[in-house]
Amino acid sequence: MQGQLSMSAESIEWPAADPHAFSKTEFRDAMARLGAAVNIITTQGAAGLAGFTASAVCSVSDEPPTLLVCLNRAASVYSAVTANGVLCVNTLAAGQEQLSQLFGGKTPVAERFAAAGWSELKTGAPALHDALVSFDCRITRVADGGTHDILICAVEAIRRRGDGHGLIYFDRAYHHARGAA
Ligand SMILES: Cc1cc2nc3c(=O)[nH]c(=O)nc-3n(C[C@H](O)[C@H](O)[C@H](O)COP(=O)(O)O)c2cc1C
């Protein structure tokens, strides 16, 4: 029998999954089937400049404009992002695979940012010049997501391109998504 679902205004907690139902590898293989846009998340402030690649980004609500980003607590960028309290979600276009790899690896921060052009919107977090869209955000809430923190972000400014095709990460590889135009 399924355990009871416990609910509060802040969170909904399912009972822990049966640890023998599937392995971590099976879960990762299953998640590889879930395609997602590729983004570079940046931050700038008293805690310094930082940026990383993330596919765990999604819309939360449009009133107020809110999105979420999942960040691994073990990532080198973790303290800078959470201490600065601001971030910019830069959604990559087809052809920007190398930038994704650079911000997803163990590359030094200066080398990551030297590979592209940046400017500021409202919060001071770097907005990528050629991004399909940039969402400049303030982190309003942080929820526990196991190995990751779920950053709930209020969107304060947007800059978007009308052209370009999308970049999707699916089955552990990059794919291009054609725009309607
Ligand atoms: C396509 C792709 C998607 C990724 N998505 C995420 C993500 O959603 N959240 C996250 O914390 N890390 C994600 N990563 C990994 C981070 O980019 C990576 O851990 C970070 O840059 C780590 O490096 P560092 O600890 O050397 O800074 C992703 C990496 C790639 C290549």
Number of domains present in the structure of the chain: 1
Q: pLDDT per residue over 21-79, tens digit each?
A: 899 999 999 999 999 999 999 999 999 999 999 999 999 999 999 999 999 999 999 99
The whole domain housing 151 covers 38-170
Residue 180 has, within 13 A of its CA and on its CB side, a CA count of 1
Cα of 36 from ligand 1 centre, angstroms: 13
Q: By alpha-carbon position, which residue is closest to atom 31 of ligand 1?
A: 104
Task: Determine, yes or no, domain membership for 148.
Answer: yes
Please state, in angstroms and as integers, the Cα–Cα distance from residue 11 to each residue in 21, 172, 178, following that order: 24, 31, 37
CATH of the domain at 158: 2.30.110.10
Q: How confident is the model at residue 170 (pLDDT cuts 50, 70, 90)?
A: very high
- What is the separation, in whole angstroms, between the first and last Cα of the chain? 51
Task: Determine, yes or no, domain membership for 46.
Answer: yes
Q: pLDDT per residue over 12-26, tens digit each?
A: 666 666 667 899 999
Task: Determine, yes or no, domain membership for 19.
Answer: no
Of 22-26, 37-41, 84-88, 170-174, which gets the smallest average pLDDT? 22-26
Query: Cα–Cα distance between 5 and 121 in angstroms, integer?
Result: 42
Please state, in angstroms and as integers, the Cα–Cα distance from residue 67 to each residue in 102, 117, 129, 172, 173, following that order: 24, 24, 21, 24, 24
Task: Determine, yes or no, domain membership for 123.
Answer: yes
* Residue 3 pLDDT > 50: no
Task: Determine, yes or no, domain membership for 14.
Answer: no
pLDDT at 105 (0 to 100): 81
Task: Determine, yes or no, domain membership for 53.
Answer: yes
Cα of 126 from ligand 1 centre, angstroms: 17
Task: Determine, yes or no, domain membership for 176.
Answer: no
Ligand 1 pocket by C-beta < 6 Å: which residues? 38, 52-56, 70-72, 75-77, 100, 103-104, 106, 148, 169
Closest CA to 154 of 88, 80, 102, 105: 88
Tokens representing residue 61 in the block: 């609500």
Task: Determine, yes or no, domain membership for 12.
Answer: no
Cα of 127 from ligand 1 centre, angstroms: 18
